[in-house]
């Protein structure tokens, strides 16, 4: 009897995990929204997000307040964040590193460390000259009025606490995040 129960529990868990693995996020920095996607189908939309004070584009250095364009994954999840929840991105990507090296923004060692991390499915170094600790997070105790008035982050993507709690049902470590 226990074996049947255990088999049923494991089967349900496997179905949940595989469903989440097919989910990815499209962050539209112009429309200020996140679409939860499965293939080309939009399953959910979160509007009125906030991005970096410097807008979105290629990050040139730590502290430029720019939300980076590109394809990333959720590299870590901070459930006990000052921002309620924090879904850390695998920024900088290998493409970010390549472009930064071509522009002389990082050295060969930093480039190699970033590329190595991505090849081995690890979080890349977060203390590079390009910055790090970019993610999707809630407000925590921050003022929701400010959130609605302006883009206020240092490069992250911010949602209200209610939105970040809602989003957390869709994503897990490894979820693809495309920022455009």
User: Which residue would you say has higher pLDDT here, 12 or 34?
Assistant: 34
CA–CA dist 30, 20 (Å, integer)? 26
> Closest by alpha carbon to 68, among 171, 173, 148, 178?
178
Whether the Cβ atoms of residue 155 and residue 92 lie closer than 8 Å to each other: no
CA–CA dist 93, 126 (Å, integer)? 11
- Does pLDDT of 116 surpass 50? yes
Tens digits of per-residue pLDDT, 96-112?
999 999 999 999 999 99
Tens digits of per-residue pLDDT, 23-74?
999 999 999 999 999 999 999 999 999 999 999 999 999 999 999 999 999 9
Q: Can you give the pLDDT at residue 19?
A: 37
CA–CA dist 8, 28 (Å, integer)? 39
Residue/partner pairs of 62-65 with CB below 8 Å, 24 or more apart: 62/128, 62/129, 62/130, 62/131, 62/132, 63/131, 63/154, 64/131, 64/155, 65/153, 65/154, 65/155
Q: How many CA atoms lie within 13 A of 51 on its CB side?
A: 20
Q: How confident is the model at residue 142 (pLDDT cuts 50, 70, 90)?
A: confident
Q: What is the pTM of this model?
A: 0.86
- Does pLDDT of 14 surpass 90? no
Q: How confident is the model at residue 21 (pLDDT cuts 50, 70, 90)?
A: low
- Does pLDDT of 151 surpass 60? yes
Q: Can you give the pLDDT at residue 80?
A: 81
Q: Can you give the pLDDT at residue 7?
A: 41
Tokens of 83: 């921002």
Q: Can you give the pLDDT at residue 1?
A: 46
């Amino acid at each position: 009897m226990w074996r049947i129960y255990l088999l049923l529990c494991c089967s349900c868990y496997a179905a949940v995990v595989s469903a989440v693995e097919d989910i990815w996020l499209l962050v539209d920095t112009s429309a200020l929204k996140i679409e939860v996607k499965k293939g080309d189908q939009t399953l959910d939309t979160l509007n009125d997000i906030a991005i970096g004070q410097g807008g979105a584009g290629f990050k040139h250095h730590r502290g430029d307040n720019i939300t980076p364009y590109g394809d990333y994954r959720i590299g870590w999840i901070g459930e006990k964040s000052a921002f309620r929840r924090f879904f850390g991105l695998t920024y900088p990507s290998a493409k970010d590193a390549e472009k930064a090296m071509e522009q002389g923004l990082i050295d060969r060692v930093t480039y190699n460390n970033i590329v190595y991390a991505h090849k081995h499915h690890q979080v890349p170094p977060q203390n590079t000259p390009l910055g790090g600790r970019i993610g999707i997070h809630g407000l925590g105790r921050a003022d929701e009025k400010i959130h609605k008035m302006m883009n206020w982050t240092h490069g992250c993507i911010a949602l209200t606490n209610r939105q970040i709690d809602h989003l957390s049902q869709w994503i897990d470590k490894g979820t693809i995040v495309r920022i455009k």
